[in-house]
């Protein structure tokens, strides 16, 4: 099982970029299969580029720092 604090620390590295565009992201759940469920907030919640932000930004950084992560999904 992944440590939520470890995931949060890495997420905090990308958070300033999200906040600069009026958005944010929170961890909703860390599943036993190492899939991270996040909720995009603010401007990111309804943005047409949200999927790209999630996969090319958030997921890429998290997987680079924590290779055990399988996927990051928005809920």
pLDDT at 46: 86
Nearest alpha-carbon partner for 55 in 72, 35, 36, 34: 72
How many angstroms from the chain centroid is the CA of residue 21?
15
Binned at pLDDT 50, 70 and 90, residue 3 comes out as: very high
pLDDT of residue 42: 93
Q: Region 17-32: what's the mean pLDDT?
A: 95
**What total of structural domains would you count in the chain?**
1
pLDDT of residue 1 exceeding 90, the answer is no
The CATH code of the domain that includes 29 is: 3.30.300.130
Q: What is the pLDDT of residue 37?
A: 98
List the domain range (segments joined by +) for residue 43.
4-74
**pLDDT for 45 beyond 90:** no
Classified as helix, coil or strand, 42 is: strand
pTM for the full predicted model: 0.93
């Amino acid at each position: 099982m992944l440590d939520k604090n470890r995931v949060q620390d890495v997420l905090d590295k990308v958070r300033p970029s999200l906040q600069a565009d009026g958005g944010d992201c929170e961890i909703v759940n860390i599943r036993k299969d190492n899939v991270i469920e996040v909720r995009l907030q603010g401007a990111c919640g309804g943005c047409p580029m949200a999927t790209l932000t999630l996969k090319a930004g958030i997921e890429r950084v998290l997987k680079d720092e924590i290779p055990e992560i399988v996927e990051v999904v928005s809920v």
